[in-house]
Amino acid sequence: MADSTLRFSRCLWLGCMEELRRRGAGTHESGCFVLGTSQGRRRRAVRCVYYDELDPRAYASGVCVLDGTAFPKLWEICRLEGLSVLADIHTHPGAAFQSEADRRNPMIARSGHLAVIVPHFADGPIWRHRLGLFRYVGDHRWTDLSGWRARSILKVSWSFR
């Protein structure tokens, strides 16, 4: 069975990477939820909601930690805009590996949810084959879609087709 694709417009993708870099300031992790629409196996990213917009203390420890009060705010945004959470993205200081904390604490614990990890606090060029890309399958288990396989799942284009 083919994996679902997650499509970003080039503008949204580049803007997201710049915001993650800016919010992390090269000193701590930053993250966001990717909101959009789904049709079959095609997911289309429409906007990002950054963790510190939902919880001002999300980066206080140096890693991304959301207080439970952040999620009702996220669900309200989804409801008002008619969107769904398609993925979450967060940065790491070095390589884009899935830490034990990431594995044990999915931001959205729903089968099929995608988690993207961006290396080097999103500083410098972001190559999709260097991202960590993981699909949640349930019970704290994930499928690793990182490396070159990520390019066939995470699509960035000038327009949606």
Instruction: Report DSSP letters for 13-71, one per residue.
Output: HHHHHHHHHHHHTTTS--EEEEEEEEETTEEEEEEEEEHHHH-TTTTTTSS----TTHH
| Rounded Cα distance, 131 and 154, in Å | 10
7-64 pLDDT per residue, tens: 999 999 999 999 999 999 999 999 999 999 998 888 999 999 999 999 999 999 999 9
SS3 content of the chain, % helix, strand, coil (to 5): 30, 30, 40
The DSSP letter of residue 148 is H
